A and B are shown apart, each in its own frame.
Chain A
């Protein structure tokens, strides 16, 4: 089997078990719902990164600012030389989002725990409720990398272009417009359901196996290339708020080595609320049209 394009960005549960006390490694659990995950038990020496509080701007809709990133790293005792190992709840979606965000701010050595919480618990490895305390570190302000992120005008510009590919990684029901937003996520609702015209639907979970580890590279290549998502194109991934699509962004960028992949984190919660943007919804009646 061929190896992933960048195998260094993944660590196994075995590797991590041997590096729990490694001072060069900082283990971060990135949770959407810390009370249901980190708060009940986490990997020894892992610190919590609360997705809502720590990775997002608290007021406007945006990822954390450069200054907020620096503050977060310093609070976690992270320097630019620290190896960050990320894992988290919801099958590593939010860990992948944090990976993407930290990469935007240029942190060099970031790795994802292959299989995440699910595999760690499945293997009955040690878990604790103890919250570690790290000495504050100094982290110089980095420059942000812009090519990893796409915004609504940029997505609109690539519609219909054959040198670009759009992947909608939501479930088929969301892609078709049968459902828009689960009721428990009212602040992620959209006025319209459906998908961005030209997008192919490759649900994020098709990239992983039963134990949440990533599929072998040959299977991943087949999965995406058979749907026209090829490395010669500039690829944009999206979902509802950009976290599932960060997972697919990670797969395409680091496991398959695609050179130009951006995550559109505005995703459907932005596109589906925007005025005047085109929406594809198979089977939808167009007002004013005459039924056949």
Chain B
């Protein structure tokens, strides 16, 4: 037969071709080691599918610790700067490929989860609208808090999202890069969910403004988000060290400011104001926060902080970064306290004592999960007091 095959004949199904192929196939497999990446050290007992599909996909030379390649870069930036370099961060690692997403999510698993959330969101919104829940939302909460301030908070999420772009470009490991892209996407998802909620409300409530104009005005010119805006801008564009971007965003700013705004303000208060729509979206954001926390604590605590060779140095650096970013985060939260003056006070819910209790929860969580592991000494009571001074 001719060896030139056309007309769409397929080797698997065409008997004539298949016979030639099968005659050439070895009688038994030539290699017994069938596990891809068998040479690597798994995080658990065995190499899992995430590790097979992600680990060592980065072709870095061995002078970037963890790399399996050798030699120089085949093309560099104009002027000779290397494609990737150890100098892109002040952090040091004996293996930049050591990070693992604790949930071991490769792309297919990641999008599967988010796709389900999208389908469920669609079903929920239909049920919510048909049930008429929107009638029970307090008008001030709905029009001012959700219309203006939740919308403005969307810019916080969008700004943090953008801070991941240079991380995705510059970071030194494959699993780091994939995780950073995913937690970045979650942030823009948060911003989009906020806009989705506002668009949804505009469909149900005649006159509710769908436009981003007023929220943007609030974000860029208002006092409530002034500290947050300046903080986000500096994480996004004024910081060049990719580890510092991730650390300032996910180990300081978001676990304190983001957590307070999402969990302690919008989610906790919303039901008191008749709003059971916002918690639906915030809960998704909190899921992403939780997943991100798993990722970034693995990066900074499990890998960098516990690095056999550089752990002490890295922890010292993280403490220095905490000194730099914590006061700015506290200041952002202090500015945010002005929001309470815009809503009707509910005793035990949105009064000073309740706010203080919420702040104590956030700072205690942060101390336990983020400060203590790097041995960062912090007086949370003093921080709470500073923040409360922003109450009008």
Bind each other: no
B positions within 8 Å CB-CB of A? none
Interface, chain A (partner B; CB < 8 A): none
